[in-house]
Structure 1
Amino acid sequence: MSSITRFNESLVSHQTFVLIGIPGMQEKNSWVAFPLFVLYALTLLGNITILYVIKIDQSLHEPMYFFLCMLACSDLGLCISTMPTMLGVYWFDSREIPLNACISQMFFIHTFQWIESGILVAMALDRSIAIRHPLRYRSLLPNSAIVKIGIVVFSRGLCVIFPIPFLIKRLPFCQSNVLSHSYCLHQDAMKLACADTRVNVLYGLTVVISSLGLDVVSILVSYILILRTVLSIATRKACLKALNTCVAHISAILIFYIPMIGTSMAHRFGRTFPPLSTC
């Protein structure tokens, strides 16, 4: 591509994106606004309550609850990252978002996603140690180890997503600027670029395989070890009691990974669906 062509593309490159509500149901956004606000309020209240209760109750100062605090913090971060634009679209029909604001939002959304994924792995490790080595649980997971795990999880989330803003910023957007959601995602914005996005695709694929794939495998291995230990327990009552401690964590895993994988599949194979009309 010649320098003149690149210059011309840079002149017409969009500096704003258009957000939408539920595809095909934009005229009903006002009906979704109030339930969405209630859902956000409950999410904020629930996570803040978890943090407050664990802070004031000394008996909850255990590794499992410390990891739960980390999960609540990451969930709050993810909620706060998506809330401004979603409420703006549904409440005020404010659909335009500047390019830099969109890039910032996608950075925080993806960062908190990977932090949350890392915390779920840490919680699986915690449950594995608690069930397999109950007498050595506190010695194997002292507070210093929990702090180090938290730092590693947070640092990994930042490092994995750090290149994303630069990979998006370099792309020209000279065709459609209508996104598929009411918030910004890397894979969504990337599809609107009128330039070669192979670097973005390869980096995203590498991140998914090396990070998400590793997280899922680690969780599966942890639960295989847990099941082996639980099945070796003699009494049925003790077996059920051990498994009950994992129910909340398994629910959190399903709630987190199923939408995340579903969104990824929709963006990867969604090209067969009819395009969204411009606003």
Structure 2
Amino acid sequence: MISIITPVYNGDRFIESCIKVVIDQACSDIEHIIVDGGSTDRTLEIVQHYAEKYPHIRWISEKDRGQSDAMNKGIALAKHKIIGFFNVDDYYEPNVLNRVKELFQNLPEPTLLVGNCNVWLDSGKLKYVNKPSKLKLVQLLAERNFPVNPVAYFYHKSLHEKIGLYSLEEKYVMDVIFIFEAVQAATVKYVDETWGNYRYITGSKTYDNVSESFQNYDRIVSQYINKLSPIEKVLLVWEYLNIRLRYFIEYPDKLSSSIKVRLNKIFGQNSPKNTK
């Protein structure tokens, strides 16, 4: 019922624990597809060792064009209706996959199912809990509290028939683009349960390229804002002002030009005159 896809390249530091996490979920009707990009460390040795013992593990190893390409290969290989991406250095909470199977039994196709995600620092300290409860496009663009990692969301494979595959051109924000497209094309269900754990660690692509990641994220957000209709832009302003109002009520000394800056991004040269 569920295809778990793990893209990996030279991931021998985490690949064994990744494989064991899926095994320990004790979930039937799953497959774990490992898409290796031609690793030169012990990754393949470890994968092959476990694949010989556990038939639910399938794998390929070949050069690719980056993470999105590996993800798309995994989707093509997936035999089941539900997709979950599981990065090599992340992990699930106990019994998550059985819970997801249970929930999908009553959900229309295609559905994007989203839970909460713990974000951990290198030191082992919990940075915050990602709770993306507002999942309409305008809300995501205003609050920017999108699902931070695919370890905590799952969806029907058929969703890609509506929105296409992951962008090969984007190295850092292909998952953000996916979320923005998915919430417009699928039934979206948020469950206030913690399902995933994302390790924000030294050596990961996001951590080592944080400045570039934020720049690309801002670029994508601006692109989606520019595509909004005039009514949607008004709703976006309303969502944004509600967020900022709550913040400034709590921290009145922080009131500054930030609202004007955001409105200028939304409306450009047509920004309302009374926002200064």
Q: Give the number of the structure whose alpha-carbon radius of gyration is greater.
A: 1
**Higher RCO (C-alpha under 8 Å, 6+ residues apart):** 1
User: Normalized against structure 2, the TM-score is what?
Assistant: 0.28
> Relative to total residues, which structure has the larger helix share, 1 or 2?
1
